[in-house]
Chain A
Amino acid sequence: MDFSLAYLAAGFSAALTVIGGAFGIGKLASAAMEASGRQPEAAGDIRTSMIIAAALIEGISLFALVICILLALKS
């Protein structure tokens, strides 16, 4: 069977997933930096919430990565 399109799809979707995830986490990090700058006493709480939100966003992009791995391993 010919799996070349599966490999192409896997690579392409991995790239798109990374774009989406990096964009979301970048926006999150910039908001956290700005909030820490405004109120340095809350920096600890902001850092904790930022890490939780970053892990959740990364979880979503890893869903797509799992599908890409499934596609790439189709042979």
Chain B
Amino acid sequence: MLYSETKITSDTLTAVAEKSSDTGWIMHHILDGNTLDFSPFAVINLPHFELFGIDISITRHVVFMWIASILLIAVFVLVSKRYKSSMVPKGFTNFLEIFIVFVRDEIAKPTIGKGYEKFLSYLLTIFFFILTCNFIGLVPFGATATSNISVTATLAIISFLVIQAGGIMKNGAFGYFKGLIPHGVPFWLLPIMFVVELLGLFTKPFALAIRLFANMTAGHVVILSLIGLIFILNTIWVSPVSILFALFIYLLEILVALLQAYIFTMLSSLFIGMAVHQEH
């Protein structure tokens, strides 16, 4: 009886939703697509490429990743040229130095300790890349590249490779895997401890990917749903409330964009530190 009641409820809701508006546009704004959608101005169709059956067409998220990369390369080449003339930064260089010094002093040095310089360029790269991708998704007509699981999975895989490479280069291949097991473990626990630690090596970057992906997607879904409430309920009187909430969630999204870039970088650097200095 509960089943038929839920069926009746869900059928009603579906009928209401389909009658009043098509809510597929929420998913259309979040998921990747083959068009650059600047409606109502223009819709640019992006080319399809297929290589050996794998779809490597240029989609919306790829274009926005390229935009972020070109922006970052341009800005940082300019900034590094300014550092050649004088070590004292002014203006925009000063603003970026705040972030760079923050990543070095609050993220890299406490977690990696000695020998952090080797990993600093990687940490700075992912911090600014994730920050830029998150922020580009917040401007109108922008798409968040990091709200695509493939992008975040790639970043997590690269972090995983850097962690393993760092650990193996410091401790030697055999020493690294031996050092995974903590001290003072009774010998009959060793097999299961080894398996658990080995699995832990893989679940930590997986969690990094899912955390970034879900945070970025969830924020956009909430904003779009709140605005879509106006269309679903089909009245204009809900719009002040709806837009106010959406504005609040938008400001929260700015905080979440900064926070998620910081958390990804912080956790990557923490794992690098744990792999390089295994005595802890």
Contact = CB atoms under 8 A, between A and B. Distances in A.
Nearest to A75: B14
Given A4-B10, A5-B6, A65-B218, A52 B263 contact: yes
A28 B48 CA distance: 48
A51 B255 CA distance: 12
Interface string B237-275: 000000000000000000000011011001000000000
A55 B214 contact: no
A62 B211 contact: yes
A65 B213 CA distance: 11
Contact of A63 (B6, B11, B27, B210): B210
Interface residues of B, number: 22
Contacts of A51: 259, 262
A30 interface: no
Given A52-B263, A52-B266, A55-B259, A8 B6 contact: yes
Q: Is the interface of B mostly helix, strand, loop or mixed?
A: helix
Contact of A62 (B6, B9, B27, B214): B214
Contacts of A8: 6, 10
B10 A63 contact: no
B260 A2 contact: no
A58 to B, nearest CB: 7
A5 B7 CA distance: 8
Nearest to A48: B106
B158 interface: no
A65 B7 contact: no
